[in-house]
Chain A
Amino acid sequence: MDVPFDLLVNALVAGLLLGAFYAAVTIGVSISFGMLDIVNIAHPGFIILGSYIAYIVNSRLGIDPILASIVMAPAFYALGALVYQVYYASFERYGQEALRGLAFFFGLLFVTEVTLILVFGVDYRYVEAAYIGPSVQIGIIDLPLRMLVPCLVALTLIGALQLFLSRSFLGRAIMAVAQDQLALQLMAASPTRIKRVAFALSIATTAIAGALLIVIQPVEPSIGREYIGRVFAICVLGGLGSLPGALIGAFLLGIVESFTASLPWLGPSWAPAVAFGFLLITLAVRPAGLFGR
C-alpha cells in the first residue's frame, strides 16, 4: 500500500470534479426518468447534439461554448416539448409506454447519432476557449480549469433547478406529478401539460451538459453510448426523482472511477467494472437507490 498521499488527494479532487459534470449530464434523466417515469434512453443523444451545436457556434462565431449553450437552451426546450408531445400522443395516452416507449427512445438515439455522423463525420471535434488549457495549483492539489469551470457551471445548474423545483409554483407542480398523477387530476390540473414542461426542461439541460462535455473532452457522435449506462447508473444509485440524490450518486461514481483509474494495481481499464459492479450491488441489495423515496 505505498500509494503516495498526493496521488490519493488528487484522485479525490478529480473524482469530485468529474462527479459534478456527471451530475449535470444526469440531471435531465433524473427529471424525466425519476419524476415522470419516461425512460428517455435518448438523453445522451441529445447531449451530443448539444455538444455539436456548441461546437458549430464556437467555431463559426467564436462565442464561448457554455454561453452559446445557455442561449441555445430554449431551442432545446422546444425540441423537448415536441418529443414529449409525440411520446404522449403515441404511447402514454394509451398506457403503452413501457416497452414501446423504451424502443422509441432507443431508435431516436441511433437516428440522432447516425445523422450527426452523416453530417459531420466521425472525427473528434473540440472547442476553443480561454479556460481549456491552463490549470490552478493549490498546494499539492492540481485543478485543471478545463474541469473546474464545467464543475462550477454544473453545480449552479443543479442548484438553480433544485430551487426551481422546490420553491416555484410550477416546480412544485412537477414534484406533484412525480408523487401522484391522479390526485393532481382530481385537483383539476392537467398532468400532461406539467409533464411536457418538465420533460422539455430535462431536454433543455442537455444543451448545457453537451457544452460541458465538449469543454472537458473532444466529442464524436458515438461517444454518447458511453453515457447511457453511466447516466442511468447515477440516477438509480442516488434514488429516483431526487436531485440531491443524483448529485451524491454522481460524486460517488466520479470518485470510484477516478480512484480505480489512478490506483496502480487497477488502472483505467477496470473503471467501468467497478462503477457498474457498484450499481449491480446497489440494485440487488437496495433497488430504491441509496436515497430513494
Chain B
Amino acid sequence: MRTLTFFLICTAIGIGVFAAARLVDNDYLFFAGYVVLQYIVLATAWNILGGYTGYVNFGSAAFFALGAYATVFLHKALPLEISSLIVIDPLPIPVLIVIGAVISGFVGLGMGYLTLRLRGAFFAIATLALAVVLQTFITNWSFVGGARGAYVIRPNEIEPIGPYVQYLFLLMLALAVTALTVARFIERSRLGLGFAAIRDDELAAEASGVPTLKLKLIATTISGALMGMAGAPFPYYIGYLQPSSAFALDYAVNSIAMPMIGGTTSWVGPLIGAVLLGTLQQIATVTISSSVNLLIVGLLIVDCVIIAPTGILGLIEGRRTARDVVADPAVFALLFGINVIPIYFLHQEALTARPLEIIFWAVLIFLALARGRLIGQLWLITLPIVSAALSVVPGPPLQGLISILALVICLACGLLLRPREAATRSGTP
C-alpha cells in the first residue's frame, strides 16, 4: 500500500505544482517546465537500467525518438478510412503515450535480447550503435518526413484546461509522477534487489539463483517504455519534428548526467539532477545560447563524478562510500582550474550569463562544502571561491594571463599527483 500512498502524495504535489504554475499564468513557464519534467522522466527511466542494474545506455535518444515518431506516424496515418463504416479517428495524446510506451518497450526488449552477452562498455557501445541505425532508418523513411522533418499542428486550445501547452505540461507531470512511482516501487521490491545484485556482481548473482537474464530483460523493457512515453507528446510540443532534434545528443547526455549528478542508487537522485540541470539549461537557453547548455552539463558531470562520487544525494546523506574515497586535494584544485577557463570565456561573452554563473558557482561551493565536511578538510571550500573570483577578472587584456595562470595551477597540481606506489590497487584479487 505504501506505493499507493507515495503515488497519491506525488499526485498531490503535482497538482500543487500545476496550480502554482496556473497562478503565475505565463506560457513560457509551461514551455520551460515541460522540458524539465521531460528530463525527470528520461533520467528516471535511464536510472532503472543504468543506476539500479548497472548497464549504461547511450541510446536514450533512440527510445525517446521512437515514441515521438510513433506519434508522427499515427498523426499522418489517421484519420484512416478502412471502409465507409469503419473510420479510425485521430487518437488523443494519452493513447499515443501508451502506444509510444509499447513500441519503445518492445524495442527495449529486443535490445536486451540482442545485447545479453555484452557487459560494461560493450553494452554502452551497442546501444549507441542501435541509436545510429534507428536514426538512419527514420531519416530515410519519407512517410514520417524523412530528413526534412514533419509538421504536427498543435491545436491552440483544449476544452477543460485552456491553452494546449498547459495540457501538455499536465500530461508530462502525470508521466513524471508515474515514472517516479515506478522507480520507487522497483527500488523497494524484490525486483530492485535483483537489479542491485546484477549491478554489484552479475556472476555472483547468477550463481546465487538470481534470474539475471529475465531481470535484465525486464529492466531494458521498463526503461525503454518510460523513455518512449516521454517522447510521445514531444511532436505536439515542438510542432515540427526532424530526426536531428528527436535523436539529439542532448537527450542521451542529459539522461546519463542527471542521475550521475543527483545520485544513482535512489529515485530521488535523478529527480534532483533533472531539476537542477534542467533548470540551469533552461536559464542558459533563454539568456545565452543553447550550446552553452552542454558546457554547463559537461562541467557539472566532470565536477560531480570527482567531488561527489555518490551524487549530491550521497553527499547530503554522508554515505560511507563518499567518505572512504578521499580524493586528492590536488585533483580538486586542478578541477577548479579547469572550471575557470570556459566560465571565463562565458563571462566575457555576455552580461546575461550572470545568473547562470552565480548558480553554477553556488552549486560548486555547495559540493566542495559538503565533500570537505565529509572528509574533514573544510578548507576545500576556498577552492571554488578562488576560482569564482578568478573567472570574473575583467577585461580582454587579462584573458591570456588568466588562462595561463589557470593552466599553471593545473600543471602544478598535476605534478603533485605523482602516483604513490602503495596506493596502487589492481582490479583482480
Q: Which of B56, B132, B140, B298 is within 8 Å of A229, CB to CB?
A: B132
How far, in angstroms, from A118 to B122 measured CA to CA in the complex?
Answer: 33
Is the Cβ of A232 less than 8 Å from the Cβ of B128? yes
Q: Which of B121, B135, B305, B335 is within 8 Å of A272, CB to CB?
A: B135
How far, in angstroms, from A181 to B126 measured CA to CA in the complex?
Answer: 27
Determine if B227 is an interface residue (Cβ-Cβ < 8 Å).
no
Is the Cβ of B417 less than 8 Å from the Cβ of A86? yes
Q: Which of A193, A225, A270, A279 is within 8 Å of B129, CB to CB?
A: A279
Is the Cβ of A100 less than 8 Å from the Cβ of B260? yes
Q: What is the size, in residues, of chain A's interface with B at 8 Å between Cβ atoms? A: 60
Q: Which residues of A contact B334 (CB under 8 A)?
A: 82, 86
Contact residues of B between 54 and 77, Cβ < 8 Å to A:
54, 56
Contact size class for B? 35 or more
Shortest Cβ distance from A34 into chain B, in angstroms? 11
Q: Which of A95, A119, A236, A280 has the most CB of B within 10 A?
A: A280
Contact residues of B between 170 and 212, Cβ < 8 Å to A:
none
If A103-B301, A110-B253, A283-B125 touch, does A118 touch B349 (CB 8 Å cutoff)?
yes
Determine if A70 is an interface residue (Cβ-Cβ < 8 Å).
no
Q: Which of A100, A182, A191 has the most CB of B within 10 A?
A: A100
Residue-wise interface mask of B (400-425) relative to A, using a CB-CB cutoff of 8 A (1 in contact, 0 not): 00000000001100100111010111
Q: What's the dominant secondary structure at chain B's contact region? A: helix
How far, in angstroms, from A94 to B423 measured CA to CA in the complex?
Answer: 9
**Nearest neighbor of A196 in chain B, beta-carbon distance:** B419
Is the Cβ of A181 less than 8 Å from the Cβ of B427? yes
Q: Which residues of A contact B341 (CB under 8 A)?
A: 115
**Nearest neighbor of B423 in chain A, beta-carbon distance:** A93
Determine if B124 is an interface residue (Cβ-Cβ < 8 Å).
yes
Is the Cβ of A100 less than 8 Å from the Cβ of B419? no
Q: Which residues of A contact B338 (CB under 8 A)?
A: 111
**Nearest neighbor of A226 in chain B, beta-carbon distance:** B132
Shortest Cβ distance from B398 into chain A, in angstroms? 16
Shortest Cβ distance from B248 into chain A, in angstroms? 10
Given contacts A86-B334, A103-B305, 4 further A-B contacts (CB under 8 A): A96-B325, A99-B56, A118-B291, A271-B136
- Which 4 pairs from chain A and chain B are nearest by CB? A110-B298, A107-B301, A273-B136, A114-B295
